[in-house]
Chains A and B, each alone.
Chain A
Amino acid sequence: MEAAPPPEHRLLGGSIPYVEGPLKVAGRAEYTDDLKRPGMLVGKLLRAPWPHAKLLRIDVSKARAMPGVYSVLTGDRYPIPFGVLPITKDETAIAVDRARYIGDIIAAVAAQDELTAERALAAIDVQVEQLPEYTDPRMGRTRVEAPIHEKGLNHSNIQKEVVQHFGDVDEAFRTAAATVRVRASFAGVTHAFTEPQCTIAEATPDGRLTIWSSTQVPHYLHRSLSEVLGLPMHRIRVIKPEVGGGFGGKSDPLPHEIACAALALETGRPVKILFDRDDVFYTNHGRHPTFNDVRIAADADGHLLGYDIEAVIEGGAWSSFGTVTTYYNGVMAMGPYRLPNFRYKGQRVFTNRPPSGAMRAHGGTNIRYSVEVGLDELAEQLKIDPFDLRVRNALPPNSTTINEFRITSTSFLKCLSAVRARSGWADKWGRLPYGQGVGLGCGFYISGSNSPIHFTPKMPQCTVHLKADMDGGITVHCMQADIGQGSNTLLAAIVAEVVGVALDRVHVSAVDSDITPVDIGSYSSRVTFMMGNAARRAAEGLRDRLLDATHQLTGYPRDALQVRFERYEVDHRPDVGVSYMDALHQAMQGTGALQSTGSYTSPPVGGTFKGARAGTAPAYSFAAYVAQVAVDAETGVYAVEKVWAAFDCGRPLNRLAVEGQIHGSIHMGLGQLMGESMDYRGPRLMNPSLLDYKILMPHQMPEVECLLVGDDDPEGPFGAKEAGEGPLVATLPAVANALYDAVGVRFYDLPITPDRVLKGIDRRQADGRAWKGH
């Protein structure tokens, strides 16, 4: 027996390599497309070439008659609508009556091989009547001739409108010493995960359907399959193989998943649908193209008096998470500052373009940009250092925002002071030569949405089952989806830590709906906080039974026992103890394998007004970033040289994973800021490939210094909060504010491409303005 390490936090708080890492580096991790089933057919989808069209007649007779074609499906066979939000189910497996964007699925084929399937698609004859196309969300807000969905507000294309007012914003602006206004536009961006979506479905003669799919939220897929196909949930089995990235893009149940299952039911054969890369782009569900208009009022000392925000966000063809997004584009402005007055009007508008949805730092990224750039302008106007402005306004711990968010832990002030010192702000801001600059951006984000989308009263939001058997192994059964963020590793480490065993005894068996208890999956940065707590409780239950067994074996009272590494000992008597295996076998007498359950339900928080649930969370992460840039004023080309990222995720439980999330978030945030854009010509997506939709290359990544300064959260597992999405939001404004410090130009249209930088510099010079405003 090796020397016993301290019982608490032996693994947690350190750097824990991913438990499935060896499989991934050896090419042995199994993604959906790596799986084959006997007799498997190839499924292919016919996508609409029209942006908006009534489907008059779809003639599939030629396709059906082709040798090797097993099924040709159109929308009328499974027309029941579904969607991730129960209140806005408007997607169908295959378009019914109408195609709403270029890329909409209008038929599905199952055939013996890919070539046959493609020939069958080509043989489908579709007659349509084209309808007016709508591609500008700002123009779809009044009555239109042919609304994209029937439920559009007042015969318009508005899917959702949110109006909120807390306090008295007009009065705040009347009494303000300083006001600023930022009007900004944001191109749509997409997740660009490396694994294209893939689904395999198989219907078996026992009346069951099994589906393997690259999904972040197996349970919502499970529900949607049941609703659309008319099968009870207990006859559907959902398995999530390894998933090659999600970032929100695999969190909706998607039409092709249902279509694949439908083909399997029709043919009685397993069917696989694998996306081409352009399928991935057309399916999108990425960040909403956005126009926002943010007015900020403050007193002479820089204390914030109010925000007045309007946002128009482009939904594309479907609702998806859009109702949530519409709220988030307002309420994600609420932190990390104290704000006495707040008004928001948000509209999400359908267009004949690929659907928008949830993407990392969902709903928070674009509004955060405008607010943080506005605060930089406010600081300049009031001649206050941007850091001081934020310090003066920081939300205190254990406070309530004006819209009744419950704030418990916040180390935002620690983030500010750490990043101010480490970045050398005092020597750099306003002091670097022309073309170089530093900027500050801040943020906060939810650590798990307090309200599960599908809420069943009195059922917990997540449940973890543990099984410990005579071999000494512990299996963790849970339905969160590890999509690369390291959640399997974290849950294994929590269980190992609490029970006091080696990490390799613990195996996470996640996401097979026949085995794992229901959970609502990996989105809203909920897994560490919520399932971490559930896993901790399950592990504590198991540990207690092992301590009971130790008491039986040693005769020492239960409260005199403590957990050591692979051993349970008597306090102050390290010579008296029982090994984990002996305790386990004692505990198993008469019962067999030990089982333990842990669950988590978020606390009742938030207000009672309409929309009060949006943005409520059991805890929030906080961030303060400084970016340093170097601009070539002759070409407009700029480099982000370094980002100092101070982040409050409470206690970081796996530093390797937290740093990885920060690096990846900065990569994604910088991509949106510097160049990523879903480029449209009217309704047509012009760049549906990774060649033309450019994510950042290694040379474009800055050096990143992570400053993990969070204090323990009182309710997070071992004090932890989320680190998956919050690290993104501060990135964009930090760089934009650094560009201002470097060349004296504000940028209100994203992405900030070199040509926009150059035009901005030209405009400033034409206006005769100096480059240093502060």
Chain B
Amino acid sequence: MTAQTVLRVQINGHPVEVPAPAERILLDLLREDLNLTGTKRGCDLGTCGCCTVLIDGRPTLSCLTLAAMADGRAVTTVEGVSAGPTLHPVQKAFVEHGATQCGFCTPGFVMTAVALLREHPHASREQVMDAISGNLCRCTGYTKIIEAILAARPGSSH
């Protein structure tokens, strides 16, 4: 067993100090050590996108990321997207447009979409499709997910 180090990470805006062995994977740190179970484990291989979180605002597959790589950085999970009980416009649009069915891929899509619209508030359909190409959904055929993200753009009518 390798030695533990203490990681200092901003999790959803809160500074957190958490001891972790060097090989700790970020997804495990979030789900197992910090009980942030909103981030989903779909494959552990970086193939499905269910575990997508933001590190310093960039969508990142937490199952392929060592927790140590988040040291000193800001991690946002799906739990940090909404302000208390108020849903983020992307989350609201996902509900209203039927972009979530079984919901297991949804946190990953939400994180990808939040990052996209932060960088490109007026993203085109093509940009939306490109952005979500790292996320798999087996329920929706993506159609309503794309509609929801487009509707969540500032100025779009829901």
With known contacts A663-B144, A698-B133, A699-B133, A22–B40 Cβ distance under 8 A: no
Q: What are 29 pairs between A and B in contact, CB < 8 Å?
A: A15-B98, A17-B98, A24-B103, A25-B90, A25-B91, A25-B95, A26-B78, A27-B78, A29-B103, A194-B50, A194-B102, A194-B104, A196-B43, A242-B103, A242-B104, A244-B40, A244-B102, A246-B102, A660-B98, A660-B139, A663-B141, A664-B138, A664-B140, A668-B138, A690-B136, A691-B47, A696-B141, A698-B129, A701-B143
Distance, CA A243 to CA B42, complexed state (A): 13
- Are A484 and B41 in contact (CB-based, < 8 A)? no
- Are B138 and A704 in contact (CB-based, < 8 A)? no
The secondary structure that dominates the A interface is loop
Q: Which residues of B contact A30 (CB under 8 A)?
A: 37
Q: Which residues of B contact A34 (CB under 8 A)?
A: 31, 37
Beta-carbon contacts of B115-158 to A below 8 Å, as 1s and 0s?
00000000000000100110011111111111000000000000
Distance, CA A178 to CA B156, complexed state (A): 56
Q: Which residues of B contact A701 (CB under 8 A)?
A: 141-143
Among residues of A, the one whose C-beta sits closest to the C-beta of B49 is: A194
Q: Which residues of A contact B133 (CB under 8 A)?
A: 697-699
Q: Which residues of B contact A15 (CB under 8 A)?
A: 98
- Are A25 and B94 in contact (CB-based, < 8 A)? yes
Distance, CA A244 to CA B144, complexed state (A): 18
Among residues of A, the one whose C-beta sits closest to the C-beta of B48 is: A690
Among residues of B, the one whose C-beta sits closest to the C-beta of A699 is: B129
Beta-carbon contacts of A243-284 to B below 8 Å, as 1s and 0s?
111110000000000000000000000000010110000000
- Contact size class for B? 35 or more
The reply to whether the CB of B87 lies closer than 8 angstroms to some CB of chain A is yes
Among residues of B, the one whose C-beta sits closest to the C-beta of A16 is: B98
Beta-carbon contacts of A689-733 to B below 8 Å, as 1s and 0s?
111000111110100100000000000000000000000000000
Shortest B27–chain A CB gap in Å is 11
- Are B102 and A245 in contact (CB-based, < 8 A)? yes
- Other than the given A27-B110, A667-B138, 15 more pairs (CB < 8 A) read A25-B91, A26-B81, A27-B36, A27-B37, A191-B138, A193-B104, A194-B104, A242-B104, A277-B44, A663-B140, A667-B141, A691-B45, A695-B136, A699-B129, A701-B141
Distance, CA A695 to CA B137, complexed state (A): 9
The reply to whether the CB of A632 lies closer than 8 angstroms to some CB of chain B is no
- What is the interface of chain B, defined by CB distance below 8 A to chain A? 31, 36-45, 47-48, 50, 77-79, 81-82, 87, 90-92, 94-98, 100-107, 110, 129, 132-133, 136-146
Q: Which residues of A contact B77 (CB under 8 A)?
A: 27
Among residues of A, the one whose C-beta sits closest to the C-beta of B96 is: A17
The reply to whether the CB of A656 lies closer than 8 angstroms to some CB of chain B is yes
- Contact size class for A? 35 or more
- Are A31 and B40 in contact (CB-based, < 8 A)? yes
Q: Which residues of A contact B50 (CB under 8 A)?
A: 194
- Are B98 and A659 in contact (CB-based, < 8 A)? yes
Of listed B44, B97, B136, B146, residue having the most chain A CB within 10 A: B136
Among residues of A, the one whose C-beta sits closest to the C-beta of B91 is: A25
